[in-house]
Amino acid sequence: MTEIVRARGLVKRFDGLLAVDGIDFSIREGECFGLLGPNGAGKTSTIRMITCVSPVTAGQLRVNGMDVTTDRRRIKATLGVVPQDENLDPDLSVAQNLAVYARYFDIPAAVARARSDEILELFQLTEKRDETVDNLSGGMKRRLIVARALINEPKILVLDEPTTGLDPQARHLVWRKLRKLREQGITTLLTTHYMEEAAHLCDRLVVMHLGHILAEGSPQDLIERHVGGQVLELRIESDGDHADALAALRDRADLRLEDVDEAVYAYSTDQNWDPVMRDVASFGKAARLRESTLEDVFLQLTGRGLDE
Amino acid sequence: MGVSYRSLRVWQRNRDVVLKLWFAELAPPVLGPIMVITALGLGLGVFVELDGEQDYIEFLTPGLLALFPMLWAMLDCGWGAYGRMNMQGIYDAVVATPLNVEDVIAGEIFWGATRGAFQALHILIAALLFTPAYGLIDSPLVILVLPFSLLYGMLFGAMAMSYTSVAPSMSSYNFLWAFVINPMFWFGGAFYPTDRLPPWAETLAQFVPLTHVVEINRGLVEGELQWSHLGNLAVIVALTAAFFSLALWSMRRRLVK
């Protein structure tokens, strides 16, 4: 598969802050690629360099075979950008928002009209086409922003936290539409800190933290590699329990323990859990073996503390 | 990266918004000039005595043709631009497309100039309505005020945009009002001949960009152009070029991080 985005030694620095610290990654044509990380990881800075709105400090970054330092306009013409913050034209109607946006790409008005009819249909906004944007619900605005990003038939759709702040219904609707777009072969790049979203949508992803890439792979791959298929979770009631739990598990060399205030987690990448479960049987229901998720990988890699 | 034809797209975007809200957008520029000419020209004017034959209402017209376009260009590239940039996120949305920051800012300034010219047109229409009775306009040269108003609309738009490029908040526009707009409004020679001011203030008035605009407008309205008007024009062109470049440069500094 061809690489549609290729970053080598990519660095972003502003005002003395090193936001992206020499990362390498490639996005393949047609895949959905995720950038995961806590706030301040460098996700948005990376996205802003790819979308040519923020200059690269050092390193190489090619998008669609073009260099972001020299071919900005041409690259931007091939991208559909869904920003983190809503920035629709509030005074204009839904249809006018699309028409005005299409004009920025020099798309002839008749073509823009035909496309926007199609896109509004896809995003279930046809009935709202003459509604002023200010009167739309949050979920509808979000859908319209994604719809707007498709008006130039982009090769890459770039979404910066596309479902932050949406209720579950609206989020699932956006996910369905994004999956549908991927089926049509559009390359998707998204940042998120919803692990469920990443697991749901991404073929491959990288976990970023403090400007570095900590891990890369498919969601399933990352889970197996970093936390194994299952996680043992011990809910702790008292300090005594805490010590007991650690004592029961500490001697097993093949377990990796994580000690958090109210719980102990045990990870293993190739574990027969039966003997371990016998050791912790005294904890009763407080000991639970469950499927591991991307969230476990994420917390394992980026830590449980707040960086802000 | 420089300005391209794509700045027109920003101009079109602003036009579309105004057309959508046309009723609210049209009332002030249409009604304003009629009220001002009536109030100041006919009401106040009878108490004002000028050197020579001229009535105050005649003296006032070239000034109004400069003042109100200045206000509209500054409102649009000041308060309006700040709202589009910081509250509506329009600039962020636009620079994600093939347009760059310079296209956006140039388009905004062209739009500010257009609003200025639109206001000049309505003052001119109002002045022509009063002309049969009060002789406000003396020369067909006055038609040149319209293309000229695009130029000084750009000047005042670029001045306001330069301020927007460093404005920390909406409330900080009070400084633009207090230190730029108000002095130009009152000391730009629109309401009275600046030679009636004390000498220090008269000198100061020469540094007010609006003074040069009023001078040229006066020549066009009265049909008496002089060589000195070329000097006024040179000052306006130079200031426009300077503030236009400043606005582009400073906005890139603000927006591209």
Q: Tell whether A103 is within 8 A of chain B (Cβ).
A: yes
Q: Which of A298, A283, A295, A291 lies closest to A245, judged by CA?
A: A283
- pLDDT for B194-241, tens place per residue? 888 899 988 888 889 999 999 999 999 999 999 999 999 999 999 999
Distance from CA of B106 to the nearest CA of A (A): 14
Whether the Cβ atoms of residue B167 and residue B86 lie closer than 8 Å to each other = no
- pLDDT for A116-136, tens place per residue? 999 999 999 999 999 999 999
B113 within a domain of the structure (yes/no): yes
pLDDT classification of A308: cutoffs 50, 70, 90: very low
Residues of chain B neighbouring A51 (CB-CB closer than 8 A): 96
Distance from CA of B44 to the nearest CA of A (A): 40
| Chain B 38-97, residues with CB within 8 Å of chain A CB atoms | 88-90, 92-97
User: A255: domain CATH number?
Assistant: 3.30.70.100
**Mean pLDDT score, B129-155:** 94
Residues A24 and A135 placed together within one structural domain of the fold: yes
Residues A106 and A187 placed together within one structural domain of the fold: yes
A207 within a domain of the structure (yes/no): yes
**Mean pLDDT score, B22-48:** 87
| Chain B 137-176, residues with CB within 8 Å of chain A CB atoms | none
Which of A95-99, B28-32, B162-166 has the lowest average pLDDT? B28-32
Residue B63 is part of which domain span?
A: 7-255
Residues A125 and A247 placed together within one structural domain of the fold: no
Domain edge (last residue) among A218, A252, A279 = A218
Q: Tell whether A91 is within 8 A of chain B (Cβ).
A: yes
Residues A140 and A27 placed together within one structural domain of the fold: yes
Residues of chain B neighbouring A105 (CB-CB closer than 8 A): 97-98
Q: Tell whether A154 is within 8 A of chain B (Cβ).
A: no
Point out which residues pair with A93 in neighbouring strands. Answer: A132
Residues of chain A neighbouring B6 (CB-CB closer than 8 A): 104, 106
Count of structural domains, chain A: 2
Q: Name residue A253's amino acid.
A: A
Whether the Cβ atoms of residue A37 and residue A193 lie closer than 8 Å to each other = yes
pLDDT classification of B167: cutoffs 50, 70, 90: very high
Residues of chain A neighbouring B23 (CB-CB closer than 8 A): none
Only one residue has tokens 């009220």, namely B35
Residue A237 is part of which domain span?
A: 228-291
Q: Report the mean per-residue pLDDT for chain A.
A: 89
Q: Above 80 in pLDDT, residue A251?
A: no
Count of structural domains, chain B: 1
The interface pTM score, or ipTM, of the predicted complex is 0.91
Q: Which of A40, A7, A41, A43 lies closest to A22, judged by CA?
A: A7
Q: Tell whether A274 is within 8 A of chain B (Cβ).
A: no
| Closest by Cβ to A87, choosing from B93, B98, B99 | B93
DSSP state of B138: -
| Three-state SS annotation for A196-258 | HHHHHHCCEEEEEECCEEEEEECHHHHHHHHCCCEEEEEECCCHHHHHHHHHHHHCCCCCEEE
Residues of chain B neighbouring A103 (CB-CB closer than 8 A): 9, 12-13
